[in-house]
Structure 1
């Protein structure tokens, strides 16, 4: 059976990936720091889809924990790696907790880089393998440290796709907009002013992502409206993007 690893699979996009891949018959290695919820998700997926789910508790802001996940990736070839774990810091940068900022950088940049590299050896030997790095449309705009992290993820993934696609691998950055998940609740962000049309459904995001991945796309923006927003942002005057930057962290 195919084998996939997902980081951050207990809710939102990560959980939608876990369900979609389990429905396709993938055995799963699920990585999260919340062991109780992780085990519950694993048990539910096994009961529903009959797949094997291995639970790996790890806090990806901790380098030693990250190395444990790297070691698991090096044990055997994975068909798909989904680097989904991430979080936001909801304070102005000048007033934010620097340790929280560092942890966010470690989870969304360092861990993505290290886990991607750890998976490559076995994938290259097998001559196949897919990597999805969950990024954001925030990476296309000046939006503080979160946007900067996601800009790196998108650029890194696009490069890796070009570098390794001729060796049978596919690497893709998934860049959604606002998705109905626990993400904003966890950072205690008030999203009441966000227009209804801007919200995306996690399961639809994942369906589009898997389709685009299998078509060899390097970057997936899973919504026509967000594709339009990104396209317009590239054509916007510098003064407008500077105003956007001033309004964000």
Structure 2
């Protein structure tokens, strides 16, 4: 079934991507910062799903680490002893900055840009080179409905990812390689808890479950859909955000 590389693979949507892809008999390359947790997840998936799992520890805010992941993605697999080429790249790694920009820690803001923008660009570039050479493959970049809001650095990074992926999809048309951007709404994972962001004011009806979001995204990748927005309510919310005056969008603000 091919090999998939997933970044941010030990928690949240990344972990769900890893399990669903393994269940579908994909071999995996899992990327995350926490080496111990990464090795634990890799061992669990190998034992439960019986697929090949490479653990590739990397901090995607560190250029040398990103370069190591890019080198793995660039493998075409045409030489004896080469690892199998990656047929699906899931750029999932990211985090909420949970601070205001003006009085916040600049290093945190820059790290967010490195992880959610720079790494996405570099890894996508490495992947499409070998995918085009083989005439098949897919890139799935995780953005957010927040890309359509005025929610600070996180929203800005996700807006970049959304537009970048659309442009990439245009370039790749007819090559056998596709690009999809996932734009979920609020999803039940440890994402907000890890960032220290209270979500108590968000109504239950606004939440999506991670298995549904991931299954929807993978189904859209198989169909070659460019923008994947799971659930009718978030498709409607996205449509509204696109037509509202930007002054109204700014007035809505962003969650804390």
**TM over 0.5, yes or no?**
yes
Superposed counterparts of 1:157-236, under 5 Å: 157-236=165-244
Per-residue deviation, 1:22: 0.5
Per-residue deviation, 1:141: 1.3
Structure 1 CA distance for aligned equivalents of residues 173 and 45 of structure 2: 31
Superposed CA deviations along residues 85-142 of structure 1, whole A, max 9, x for unmatched, are: 0001111111111001000000000000000000111101110001000000000111
1:153 is aligned to 2:156? no
- Alignment equivalent of 1:98, drawn from 93, 97, 106: 106
Is this contact kept in 1: 2:95–2:191, CA < 8 A? yes
Superposed counterparts of 1:29-108, under 5 Å: 29-76=29-76, 77-108=85-116
- Unaligned runs of at least 5 residues, structure 2: 77-84
Per-residue deviation, 1:198: 0.8
Aligned residues: CA RMSD:
1.2
Is this contact kept in 2: 1:30–1:53, CA < 8 A? yes
Partner of residue 136, structure 1:
144
Superposed CA deviations along residues 173-230 of structure 1, whole A, max 9, x for unmatched, are: 0000111111101110111111101111111101100111111111100111011111
Superposed CA deviations along residues 70-90 of structure 1, whole A, max 9, x for unmatched, are: 111112331100000000111
Is this contact kept in 2: 1:144–1:248, CA < 8 A? no
Structure 2 CA distance for aligned equivalents of residues 147 and 112 of structure 1: 15
- Unaligned runs of at least 5 residues, structure 1: none
Is this contact kept in 1: 2:141–2:165, CA < 8 A? yes
Deviates more, 1:231-240 or 1:120-129: 231-240
Structure 2 CA distance for aligned equivalents of residues 248 and 32 of structure 1: 26
Structure 1 CA distance for aligned equivalents of residues 127 and 8 of structure 2: 17
Per-residue deviation, 1:147: 0.5
Structure 2 CA distance for aligned equivalents of residues 58 and 146 of structure 1: 21
Structure 1 CA distance for aligned equivalents of residues 64 and 34 of structure 2: 17
Per-residue deviation, 1:248: 5.9
Structure 2 CA distance for aligned equivalents of residues 112 and 75 of structure 1: 17
Runs (4+) off by over 3 Å: none
Query: Number of residues paired by the alignment?
Result: 248
Structure 2 CA distance for aligned equivalents of residues 214 and 61 of structure 1: 30
